[in-house]
């Protein structure tokens, strides 16, 4: 197995050669860029990684993954449903054996491109290598990039993209890479779920997913980051939206040791709309960063960011919400909000909602809050016979419920409610009452 | 049922006594009104009885259902049969009335080592009570007290009262901020709950609510002490002459 130690990048050799020339170009450029900069921090990107400490990550010897089999019928705790078509990415490799989807979905590996060959020219154009070191890292180390195209369908379309870490024996680093084109007029629910099933402590997972939304598409993006609390996880979703497209996203993050959810949409076609809503839960010594940004490139688009955080123990969370309204993007509506529930005196949230506006006819707002357990709410519940511990759990769950309900799918909601109920008892609540 | 002996209490870590030696005895089935001017300690008494952690008892005893409950947490007092209808019910995001009340009843049954109600049994019971009290079913789907009007919040308190079926219900200024219709609806809900083994404490500034919920006894609380007790005529006297007469007759 091929070993990687990110602090000694000069000793590394490029793992893969791709037959498609565009994919190969991205791979080469990624390699060039990453081997030059190495891991953050670097002067040019210091603001992006202000709160992330890469020191431990640099010192770990990782291995590139090998193909593994996964049995979806195993009772592994992975979300699956008969109502969803499913694409499995196991330890960085697409597994066509266990994936299943209907005729209006095409999935092709980058080395076997045929029908989706034309998509490859956009590969790396939405998630750009020069944006940051970790996108470059993914581009350099990806082993099995896949292309997905979704056409309009008569029936309700539910697609579940499952990204798994399963290797128990080794410190695995995997670099899932997807390019998803949603074709004109299609309406689809896309679940993007990450599960860390590995019992091994040190895993690195860096997924990069590019979305190209053609005209009049409607995507409900439902994201679940279900970490065991140990891994290094950096996810980059990059969305390009054309005219009258909608990308309505709801995210649920159980933090890893060091994790980042980084999503950006470029509203590049008029009358398009983008919502990024989400919940993050951090505990112990975990860090969850949320880098949530939207570019209003043209007029008459709207966007809404609404994140909620639950923090316990000595954990940290970052919400960095950015909205850029370019010159000429008149009649823009853009809203940002980040609300945090701090359960311990040692946890910390750094919240930075920011608006950068170069147009003059816009409606924008931003805000952030951080609060503790509310004594009056707690007493209210206790006076109804609910003990202190249960009352606290109820308030924590209640805070999360608003976002969970936005998933709008009964099976997912039930799944997330069970997950949060399981994780609440382990939250380190201290020194706040 | 409830026996309060020389109860003294203050806000935690302060030195100012708010309750300065309250004595009160309530038997099953009785309705007691506690009236008094602003700042007399009425709401403090209600909250101290329910066990709000903001207050500490510095002297005296509260006996409820044959237990000395000074140190009991609020949830245990609830299990024993105490219920506080709040003056300002908390708005609780993401928690629905149904869900809270199911937990409440489950906890109570667990405390008494009784069988919990099944979801179906509870739903039936809950739906009937919602209908009896006349609560808009749309409201019950929202987060608890969120976006409820003043009247709806108080009605919701009465719904909880009717589901938890306490031995002693303390209504803390339940009449404040209610229009006549809401006051009547709330009072009707309370009157439905009156029985030989259930007692009420009605904490109020005004006599008005006592036209609808007729008290057996009326106590006047001034400056942390019960200065006068009587029957419902005492409340009418307050309505006509205000608290000033009583306060000045105390010679303070």
Q: How far apart are alpha carbons B167 and A20 in whole angstroms? A: 78
Largest CA distance in chain A: 68
Token pair for residue A204? Answer: 């690195």
Q: What's the pLDDT band for B32 if we cut at 50, 70, 90?
A: very high
Query: What residues of B are in contact with residue A400 (Cβ under 8 Å)?
Result: 94
Is B160 in Cβ contact with A376 (below 8 Å)?
no
CB B27 within 8 A of CB B214: no
Query: What residues of A are in contact with residue B164 (Cβ under 8 Å)?
Result: 384-385
Superfamily name and number for B2-32+50-184+196-232? P-loop containing nucleotide triphosphate hydrolases (3.40.50.300)
CB A319 within 8 A of CB A352: yes
pLDDT of amino acid B243:
87
Is A386 in Cβ contact with B94 (below 8 Å)?
no
pLDDT of amino acid B241:
85
Is B94 in Cβ contact with A398 (below 8 Å)?
yes
Q: Which residue from B53, B103, B105 is facing A379, i.e. has the nearest CB?
A: B53
Number of residues written out for chain A: 433
Alpha carbon of B236: minimum distance to chain A alpha carbons (Å): 32
Q: How far apart are alpha carbons A164 and B145 in whole angstroms? A: 41
Residue written as token pair 């009784």: B114
Q: How far apart are alpha carbons A287 and A312 in whole angstroms? A: 11
List the domain boundaries for chain B. Answer: 2-32+50-184+196-232
Q: Report the Cα B245 to chain-centroid distance in Å.
A: 27
Give the torsion sign (CA, A402, A403, A405, A406): positive
Query: What residues of B are in contact with residue A386 (Cβ under 8 Å)?
Result: 75, 100, 103-104, 107
Query: What residues of A are in contact with residue B108 (Cβ under 8 Å)?
Result: 385
pLDDT of amino acid A398:
95
| Angle in degrees, CA A403, A406, A409, rounded to 5 | 130
pLDDT of amino acid B31:
95
Q: Which residues contact B220 (CB under 8 A, 6 or more apart)?
A: B35, B36, B226, B227, B228, B229, B234, B238, B243, B246
Is A401 in Cβ contact with B95 (below 8 Å)?
yes
* pLDDT tens-digit readout, B212-223: 999 999 999 999
Of B129, B127, B113, the closest CA to residue B163 belongs to B129
Q: Report the Cα A306 to chain-centroid distance in Å.
A: 15
Compare all CA atoms of chain A with the CA of B75 and give the residue at the minimum distance: A385
Burial of A254 (0-12, 13-18, 19+ CB in 10 A): buried
Is B78 in Cβ contact with A384 (below 8 Å)?
yes
Query: What residues of B are in contact with residue A390 (Cβ under 8 Å)?
Result: 103, 107
Is B92 in Cβ contact with A380 (below 8 Å)?
yes
Global confidence as pTM = 0.93
Secondary structure of B41-70 in the HEC alphabet? CHHHHHHHHHCCCCEEEEEEEEEECCEECC
ipTM for this prediction = 0.96
CB B126 within 8 A of CB B163: yes
Query: What residues of A are in contact with residue B170 (Cβ under 8 Å)?
Result: none
Tell me the residues of A at the B interface, defined by beta carbons under 8 Å apart: 374-377, 379-388, 390-391, 394-395, 397-402
Q: What's the pLDDT band for B66 if we cut at 50, 70, 90?
A: very high
pLDDT of amino acid A433:
63
Q: How far apart are alpha carbons A427 and A310 in whole angstroms? A: 9
Q: Report the SS3 class of residue A425.
A: helix
The 10 Å CB-count burial string (b at 16+, else e) for A380-397 is bbbbbbbbbebbbbbbbb
Residue written as token pair 């019992």: A199
Count interface pairs A-B at CB distance under 8 A.
88
Alpha carbon of B216: minimum distance to chain A alpha carbons (Å): 26
Q: How far apart are alpha carbons A217 and A219 in whole angstroms? A: 6
pLDDT of amino acid A137:
96
Token pair for residue A423? Answer: 């994780």
| Angle in degrees, CA A287, A130, A9, rounded to 5 | 70
Alpha carbon of A396: minimum distance to chain B alpha carbons (Å): 9
Is B92 in Cβ contact with A402 (below 8 Å)?
no
Is B92 in Cβ contact with A398 (below 8 Å)?
yes
Residue A384 DSSP symbol: T
Is B78 in Cβ contact with A402 (below 8 Å)?
no
* pLDDT tens-digit readout, A352-386: 999 999 999 999 999 999 999 999 999 999 999 99
Tell me the residues of B at the A interface, defined by beta carbons under 8 Å apart: 50-54, 73-75, 77-79, 83-84, 86, 89-95, 99-101, 103-105, 107-108, 111, 143, 160, 164
Residue B89 DSSP symbol: P
Is A385 in Cβ contact with B107 (below 8 Å)?
yes
**% of chain B with per-residue pLDDT over 90:** 73
Is A399 in Cβ contact with B78 (below 8 Å)?
no
Is A381 in Cβ contact with B107 (below 8 Å)?
no
Q: Which residues contact A374 (CB under 8 A, 6 or more apart)?
A: A395, B90
Low-confidence ranges of chain A (pLDDT < 50): none
* pLDDT tens-digit readout, B174-199: 988 888 888 998 899 889 999 999 99
Q: How far apart are alpha carbons A372 and A359 in whole angstroms? A: 38
pLDDT at B252 over 70: no
Compare all CA atoms of chain A with the CA of B80 and give the residue at the minimum distance: A385
pLDDT, averaged across chain B: 92
List the domain boundaries for chain A. Answer: 3-269
Is B83 in Cβ contact with A383 (below 8 Å)?
yes
Query: What residues of B are in contact with residue A406 (Cβ under 8 Å)?
Result: none
Is B93 in Cβ contact with A384 (below 8 Å)?
no
* pLDDT tens-digit readout, B88-137: 999 999 999 999 999 999 999 999 999 999 999 999 999 999 998 888 88
Q: Phi then psi for A210, rounded to 5 degrees?
A: -105, 130
Is B164 in Cβ contact with A399 (below 8 Å)?
no
Token pair for residue A21? Answer: 């020339």
Order of all β-strands in the sheet with B199-204: B82-85, B168-172, B199-204, B31-35, B217-222, B225-230
């Amino acid at each position: 197995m091929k070993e990687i130690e990110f602090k000694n990048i000069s000793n590394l050799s490029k793992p893969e050669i791709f037959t498609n020339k565009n994919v190969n170009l991205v791979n080469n450029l990624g390699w060039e860029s990453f081997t030059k900069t190495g891991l953050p921090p670097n002067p040019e990107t210091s603001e992006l990684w202000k709160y992330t400490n890469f020191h431990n990550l640099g010192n770990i010897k990782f291995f590139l993954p090998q193909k593994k089999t996964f049995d979806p019928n195993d009772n592994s705790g992975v979300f699956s449903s008969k109502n969803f078509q499913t694409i499995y990415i196991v330890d960085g490799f697409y597994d066509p054996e266990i994936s299943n989807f209907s005729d209006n979905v095409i999935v092709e590996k980058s080395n076997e491109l045929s029908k989706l060959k034309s998509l490859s020219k956009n590969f790396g154009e939405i998630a750009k290598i020069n944006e940051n070191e970790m996108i470059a890292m993914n581009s350099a180390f990806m082993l099995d990039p896949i292309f997905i195209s979704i056409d309009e369908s008569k029936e309700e379309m539910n697609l579940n993209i499952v990204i798994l870490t399963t290797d128990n024996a080794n410190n695995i680093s995997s670099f899932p890479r997807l390019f998803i084109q949603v074709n004109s007029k299609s309406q689809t629910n896309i679940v993007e779920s990450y599960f860390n099933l590995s019992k091994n402590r040190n895993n690195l997972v860096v997924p990069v997913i590019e979305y190209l939304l053609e005209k009049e598409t409607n995507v409900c993006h439902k994201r679940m980051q279900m970490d065991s609390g140990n891994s290094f996880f950096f996810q980059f979703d990059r969305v390009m939206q054309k005219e009258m497209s909608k990308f309505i996203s709801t995210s649920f993050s159980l933090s890893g040791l060091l994790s980042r959810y980084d999503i950006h949409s470029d509203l590049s076609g008029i009358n398009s709309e983008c919502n990024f809503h989400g919940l993050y839960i951090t505990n112990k010594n975990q860090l969850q960063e949320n880098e949530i940004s939207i570019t209003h490139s043209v007029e008459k688009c709207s966007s809404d960011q609404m994140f909620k955080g639950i923090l316990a123990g000595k954990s940290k969370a970052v919400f960095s919400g950015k909205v850029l309204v370019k010159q000429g993007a008149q009649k823009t509506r853009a809203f940002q909000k980040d609300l945090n529930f701090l359960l311990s005196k040692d946890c910390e949230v750094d919240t930075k909602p920011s608006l950068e506006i170069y147009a003059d006819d816009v409606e924008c707002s931003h805000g952030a809050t951080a609060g503790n357990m509310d004594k009056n709410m707690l007493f209210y519940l206790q006076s109804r016979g609910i003990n202190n511990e249960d009352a606290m759990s109820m308030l924590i769950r209640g805070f999360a419920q608003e976002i969970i309900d936005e998933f709008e799918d009964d099976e997912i909601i039930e799944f997330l409610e069970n997950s949060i109920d399981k994780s609440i008892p382990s939250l380190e609540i201290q020194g706040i009452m | 049922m409830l026996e309060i002996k020389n109860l003294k209490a203050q806000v935690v870590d302060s030195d100012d006594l708010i309750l300065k030696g309250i004595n009160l005895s309530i038997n099953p089935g009785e309705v007691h009104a506690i009236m008094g001017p602003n700042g007399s300690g009425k709401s403090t008494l209600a909250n101290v009885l329910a066990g709000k952690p903001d207050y500490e008892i510095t002297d005296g005893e509260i006996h409820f259902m044959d237990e000395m409950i000074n140190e009991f947490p609020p949830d245990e007092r609830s299990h024993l049969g105490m219920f506080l209808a709040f003056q300002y019910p908390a708005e609780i995001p993401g928690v629905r009335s149904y869900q809270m009340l199911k937990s409440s009843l489950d906890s109570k049954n667990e405390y008494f080592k009784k069988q919990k109600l099944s979801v179906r049994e509870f739903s039936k019971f809950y739906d009937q009570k919602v209908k009896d009290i006349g609560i808009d079913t749309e409201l019950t789907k929202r987060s608890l007290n969120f976006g409820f009007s003043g009247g709806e919040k108080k009605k919701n308190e009465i719904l909880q009262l009717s589901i938890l079926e306490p031995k002693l219900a303390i209504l803390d200024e339940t009449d404040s901020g209610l229009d006549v219709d809401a006051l009547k609806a709330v009072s009707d809900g309370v009157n439905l709950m009156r029985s030989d083994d259930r007692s009420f404490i009605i904490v109020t500034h005004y006599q008005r609510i006592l036209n609808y919920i007729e008290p057996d006894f009326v106590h006047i609380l001034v400056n942390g002490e019960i200065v006068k007790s009587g029957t419902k005529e005492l409340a009418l006297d307050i309505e006509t002459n205000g608290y000033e007469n009583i306060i000045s007759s105390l010679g303070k």
